[in-house]
């Protein structure tokens, strides 16, 4: 098993990260607890170690399922979770303030059934809280032993710079990772964010590597998302933001990229998902790729895809086909 150093730290993580957004205690969850446990066991048995969740996934039940699934193998796991997304109706039930983060960390530790978190991440930026307050608060978590390393998610290049500067000015703990949307249809982080991470010592954890399933060939141009898919779930939400996310993901330009991917896959006699994951796994600035399987079989297939070696000409074709997504908006929040 090949492990990567996470940013400017001594933490070694697997090239595959197990994303657990689909895990939940409800039998109707995409990956209900019995299947989630099988996924975790298969992931760890294959030698991988980075497991990522968040306090907002499935109303916090993802953390509960993850905690129970890893309890007997806790020392093998690099456990990551996130905070910032609203947890209630109150004004302090969200964001990156000292008030919210302190309560959020204790709640995550309780749900996860552990006394420490390996990688604690700011899920989204918070423009209303001074970054000095956020970084000082996170540093106290590290000094207390409740958290070992710090990361961020969905931050801009400017936000990363400000965060690292704030930590340095205060003699505190900096971020060692950024979790960001990255795939053939979401290359917005390449011009500014990736170089910033490289310069300031953050490893990159790439989420949505299959573009919500579009790059796995699950959706067809002009057709609604198939029942039971993640996009069908989002389409059914009353939120305008959810509809905008689905419409943006299933744009004509993204289908053009998916069509070229399907053509390359057909020529190579490979699964589209293998080609998409192989392209991402070959990117030198990616530390780990966040996979979000619903079944143990899907996990096995995705792990194989990460090791798929694309011919240089195929990589060049996909690079060219997706070039217009470099610098374009990120397609969604993980």
Write out pLDDT tens, residues 52-100: 999 999 999 999 999 999 999 999 999 999 999 999 999 999 999 999 9
Average pLDDT, the chain: 94
> First-to-last CA distance in the chain?
27
Partners of residue 24 on adjacent β-strands: 32
Q: Who has greater pLDDT, 244 or 290? A: 290
Helix (H, G, I), strand (E, B) or coil at 116: coil
Q: Is the pLDDT of residue 211 over 90?
A: yes
Q: Is the pTM of this model over 0.85?
A: yes
Q: What is the DSSP string of 183-246?
A: BTTBBTTTTTHHHHHHHHT-EEEEE-TTGGGGGGT---TTSPPPTTSHHHHHHTSS-HHHHHHH
* 177: in domain: yes
* 142: in domain: yes
* 331: in domain: no
DSSP symbol at 334:
-
* 332: in domain: no
- The H or E element containing residue 79 is strand 78-83
Q: Is 10 exposed, middle or buried (0-12, 13-18, 19+ CB in 10 A)?
A: exposed
- The CATH number of the domain holding residue 14 is 3.20.20.100
Residue 261's alpha-carbon distances to 22, 225, 310, 334, in angstroms, are 26, 19, 12, 23
3 flagged as catalytic: no
* 330: in domain: no
C-beta neighbour count of 76 within 10 angstroms? 12
Q: How far apart are CA 263 and CA 259, in angstroms?
A: 6
Count how many domains the chain has: 1
Catalytic residue among 57, 149, 219, 245: 57
* 158: in domain: yes
* 279: in domain: yes
Tell me the pLDDT band of 328, cut-offs 50, 70 and 90.
Answer: low
72: number of CA atoms within 13 Å, CB side? 6
| Tens-digit pLDDT profile for residues 129-188 | 999 999 999 999 999 999 999 999 999 999 999 999 999 999 999 999 999 999 999 999
Q: Who has greater pLDDT, 228 or 109? A: 109
Domain span at residue 20?
Answer: 3-325
**What pLDDT sits at residue 281?**
92
Q: Identify whether the C-beta of residue 230 lies closer than 8 Å to the C-beta of residue 313.
A: no
Q: Is the pLDDT of residue 331 over 60?
A: no
Residue 241's alpha-carbon distances to 216, 225, 245, 246, 289, in angstroms, are 24, 17, 6, 9, 25
């Amino acid at each position: 098993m090949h492990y990567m150093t996470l940013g400017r730290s001594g933490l070694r993580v697997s090239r595959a990260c197990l994303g657990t957004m689909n895990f939940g205690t409800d039998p109707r969850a995409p990956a209900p607890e019995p299947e989630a446990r099988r996924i975790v066991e298969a992931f760890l048995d294959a030698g991988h170690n980075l497991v990522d969740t968040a306090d907002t996934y499935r109303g916090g039940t993802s953390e509960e399922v993850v905690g129970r699934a890893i309890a007997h193998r806790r020392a093998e796991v690099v456990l990551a979770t996130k905070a910032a997304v609203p947890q209630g109706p109150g004004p302090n039930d969200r964001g990156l303030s000292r008030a919210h983060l302190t309560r959020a960390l204790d709640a995550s530790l309780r749900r996860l059934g552990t006394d420490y978190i390996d990688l604690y991440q700011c899920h989204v930026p918070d423009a209303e809280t001074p970054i000095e307050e956020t970084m000082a608060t996170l540093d106290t978590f590290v000094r207390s032993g409740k958290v070992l390393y710090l990361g961020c998610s969905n931050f801009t290049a400017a936000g990363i710079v400000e965060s690292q500067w704030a930590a340095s000015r205060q003699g505190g703990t900096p971020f060692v990772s950024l979790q960001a949307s990255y795939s053939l249809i979401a290359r917005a982080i390449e011009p500014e964010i990736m170089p910033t991470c490289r310069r300031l010592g953050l490893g990159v954890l790439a989420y949505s590597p299959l573009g919500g399933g579009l790059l796995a060939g699950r959706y067809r141009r002009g057709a609604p998302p198939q029942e039971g898919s993640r996009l069908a779930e989002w389409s059914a939400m009353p939120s305008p933001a959810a509809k905008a996310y689905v419409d943006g993901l299933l744009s004509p330009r993204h289908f053009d990229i998916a069509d070229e991917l399907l053509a390359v896959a057909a020529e190579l006699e490979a699964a589209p998902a293998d080609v998409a994951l192989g392209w991402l796994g070959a990117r030198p600035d990616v530390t780990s790729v966040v996979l979000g399987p619903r079944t143990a079989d899907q996990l096995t297939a995705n792990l194989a895809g990460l090791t798929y070696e694309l011919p240089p000409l195929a990589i060049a074709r996909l690079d060219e086909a997706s070039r217009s997504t470099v610098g374009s908006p990120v397609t969604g929040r993980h």
